[in-house]
A and B are shown apart, each in its own frame.
Chain A
Amino acid sequence: KNQVEQSPQSLIILEGKNCTLQCNYTVSPFSNLRWYKQDTGRGPVSLTIMTFSENTKSNGRYTATLDADTKQSSLHITASQLSDSASYICVVSSSGTYKYIFGTGTRLKVLA
């Protein structure tokens, strides 16, 4: 069964600290993996998209990694800011079937 699991479910950190969010998936065949940031009351915004051959991709203070062998991805946030408080959603798409499988998200709270 195609599944995407994220951990932790929620996370609280102090401003300026780093954190890492995890995404494990069982989707097959794999096409790509995306990380989205969703602020409260708004639509998701794409952070990164990675295909099978990409191990890492950065977008400012956000760095995503992908291990296609172990089917794991992580999103590392460096020097967190208050504006990073949001839900982070991992989405894996399956090639040839147009399937998008969403994780349940990690809710991050950054405190001053």
Chain B
Amino acid sequence: DTAVSQTPKYLVTQMGNDKSIKCEQNLGHDTMYWYKQDSKKFLKIMFSYNNKELIINETVPNRFSPKSPDKAHLNLHINSLELGDSAVYFCASSQDSGGGRKSFFGPGTRLTVL
């Protein structure tokens, strides 16, 4: 019954590796997001997809590439991982992209780059 799920929950990897985080929502929402929360607990939006189309692409390195195979999934692929990528990554979804609807967040993926 999980509304927004992410895998894996924890990810520990070496610098330079490529890794993916998966996100799925079963709420029937049109819009999905990726957020990064750093060590100071500051949340920052990275990407937003509406009906599989990219609508927000904040200033993030192009090593980060989101992929939305369908409306219910938004995966995040990260190439050439760096120490500064260590953070908690949250996936979220909402009914629409207009901003007026509540967003539901996943449990987060804690990424540690060694």
Contacts and interface: CB of A to CB of B under 8 A. Distances in A.
Contacts of A95: 99
A44 B42 CA distance: 12
Nearest to B50: A98
Interface in B82-99: 90, 92, 97-99
Chain A, interface size: which category?
20 to 34
A28 interface: no
A49 B41 contact: no
A65 interface: no
A87 B40 CA distance: 12
B100 A43 contact: no
Interface residues of B, number: 24
B97 A104 contact: no
Is chain A's interface secondary structure helix, strand, loop, or mixed overall?
Answer: strand
A104 B41 contact: yes
Interface in A78-99: 87, 89, 91, 93, 95, 98-99
Interface of A: 31-32, 34, 38, 41-46, 49, 51, 87, 89, 91, 93, 95, 98-100, 102, 104-105, 107
Interface of B: 4, 40-45, 48, 55-56, 90, 92, 97-108
Given A31-B98, A43-B105, A105-B41, 5 more contacts: A34-B102, A34-B103, A43-B108, A98-B48, A99-B56
26 contacts: A31-B98, A31-B99, A34-B103, A41-B108, A42-B107, A42-B108, A43-B90, A43-B106, A43-B107, A44-B105, A45-B105, A46-B102, A46-B103, A49-B101, A51-B100, A93-B99, A95-B99, A98-B55, A98-B97, A100-B99, A102-B42, A102-B43, A102-B45, A104-B42, A105-B41, A107-B41
